Amino acid sequence: MTKFNIVLYEPEIPQNTGNIARLCACTGASLYLVGKLGFSLSSKYTKRAGLDYWDSVNLQKIETMDELLNANKNANFYYLTTKTNKLYTDVKFQDGDFFVFGPETRGLPEIYVKDKNALTIPMKEGQRSLNLSNSVAIVTYEAIRQNGL
């Protein structure tokens, strides 16, 4: 079975993280929470959004992106951003790939946005961004479509 990894860098909204945890439980993706969280994992909002799926999630809390990158040196990391023109549909995803998403209010730091593996989801000009949990679902299901669950 193909397995993907969802990385939330400094997520801020507990409901989004709970919803993404539920998506991970349903798809078999691992969930990595990196850096400072804008909420407590024991938050009632986080728990409510994830419902009873939390026990089915391979959840890892990592202190820094460098720690995650160093622990997975041979893996492909893709950085989702509105600041590139390379579409997520132009990539052939592989088993074990990591999809990195930034905080809801500011996105990923520039170092990742400028990476050759920075990808975007197309949207109407003049709009700022999609909801984080929707973006994670879009990219995850494209990877599944390409590879099978």
Give the HSE-up count for residue 69: Cα atoms under 13 Å, Cβ half-sphere.
9
**What fold, for 5-147?**
Alpha/beta knot (3.40.1280)
Residue 124 in tokens? 């109407």
Residuewise pLDDT in 10s, the chain (149 residues): 569 999 999 999 988 998 999 999 999 999 999 999 988 777 676 666 556 778 889 999 999 999 999 999 999 999 999 999 999 999 999 999 999 999 999 999 999 999 899 999 999 988 888 999 999 999 999 999 999 76
pTM of the predicted model as reported, rounded to 2 decimal places = 0.93
Tokens (6 digits) for 73: 């040196």
Name the DSSP letter for residue 41: T
Within the chain, where are the H helices? 14-27, 44-50, 65-71, 110-113, 132-147
Per-residue model confidence (pLDDT) at position 106? 92
pLDDT given at position 149:
65
- Residue 95 CA to chain centroid, in angstroms? 15
User: Measured between alpha carbons, how far is 34 from 37 in angstroms, rounded to an integer?
Assistant: 8
Partners of 118 in the beta sheet? Answer: 79
